[in-house]
Every structure is written in structure tokens, then in C-alpha cells.
Amino acid sequence: MHDLTQYSRRRVQIIELCELGLRPSFIQEAVPGFRTEEIIRMYQAVQGKRSSKGNMPAKDAKFLYNEHTTHQLCLHGSILGRCMDILRRHPLADAVVLITAYREYLRLIHPGEAFIDANRAWTMVQAFRNNKLELIRCSTCHAEYVDGYRMRSNSCPICFTLRKRELYQDAHLALQALAECSS
């Protein structure tokens, strides 16, 4: 009976991962114990099409810190990374971390503006697990962002976005005023 419950729960997870668009080979990693053909069949049933055959993203989430990484991508990575980090403090399976964090990410961003797809998100879960990705607290805005970007410019994507939108000056002055009030 226990095994059957476990089996049903895993099948539901596979369906949820198919809905998010995770490729069958990654689904097999996330939810072990199912045959490749079975997962491919479920993927086609849920998505109504085969999964794409393009290159798989690198497992160490290098897309977050290569020469093509933009501040916007890094900002999205930080939002998603923060959701994952909170969940990782609980004893949850990686599949659950991915499903819950990715759904939260989609809820937080503007509709249709997901810079990070579920496959890249899965590589982030793996990179966190292997300590290849971490969150750094910005000394200016005190928000946390993914470390990858620091290797390139030492700048926080949240501060950069504020600066770009000419809000930075105002935000900085407001923070200073707050600091003076509380001292």
C-alpha cells in the first residue's frame, strides 16, 4: 500500500514536470524508477508534442555566468535561486524543489517573460546541490543574488536594474535617510 502511494505521488510529479516542460531525460533524473519510454509517452500526452531535441543546458548552470549572461537573466536567476534556497532548507526531493520554486518564479514575474525555462531551472537545482551556485548578499541593497554574475562584474543585478531605471539615486537616498533615522 505504501509503495502504491509512493508510486502515485511520483507519477503526479512526472506529470507536473511535463507540464513545466522539463525534458524526459531530466525528468528521469528528477524522478527515478520509471522507464525512459514511459516518461516520453507521458510527456507527449501532457504537452501534445515531442520534447525538443536541441542541446541540453550544462548541469552546472553555466548560463548564469558566461559571457552572454545579462543583468536581466541574472536578476531572474536570483529570483528563482532565492525560491530554491528557501525550499532547500527543508528535507524535500529535488523534483519538489523544482516544481514549487519554478511555479513561484512564474507567479512572481510578468506573464510570458520567463527568461529561464524549466530545464535551466533543473540545472540550477543540481548546481545548488553540488555547491556550484550560491547566493551572495549585496552590501548595497542587502538583497541576495546568484553568485555567478559576481565573477564578471562584481555588481548586483538588482542594484544595476535600479540604476538603469534611474531609481537608484532615489532608492539610495531613501536608504541613507532610513539609516540616519534609525541611528
**Could you list the residues that contact Zn ion (CB under 5 A)?**
138, 140-141, 156, 158-159
3-state secondary structure of 136: strand
Rounded to whole angstroms, how far apart are CA atoms 12 and 53?
A: 24
CB of 103 to Zn ion, least distance (A): 26
Residue with the three cell numbers 519554478: 102
Decide whether 129 or 142 has the Cβ nearer to Zn ion: 142
Smallest gap, in angstroms, from Cβ of residue 149 to Zn ion? 11
SS3 content of the chain, % helix, strand, coil (to 5): 65, 5, 35
Question: Contact 15/46 with Cβ under 8 angstroms?
Answer: yes
Rank residues 93 and 151 by Cβ distance to Zn ion and give the closer one: 151
Q: Which residues pair with 146 in a beta bridge?
A: 135
Q: Give the residue with the Cβ less far from Zn ion, 75 or 158.
A: 158
CB of 157 to Zn ion, least distance (A): 8
User: What's the full length of the chain, in residues?
Assistant: 183
Distance CA 125, CA 131 (A): 10
Q: How many helices (H) and strands (E) does the chain have?
A: 9, 2
Which stretch of DSSP H or E encloses residue 146?
A: strand 144-146
Query: Smaller CB distance to Zn ion: residue 57 or 81?
Result: 81
Nearer to Zn ion, 109 or 138 (CB): 138
Name the minimum Å distance from CB 160 to Zn ion: 8
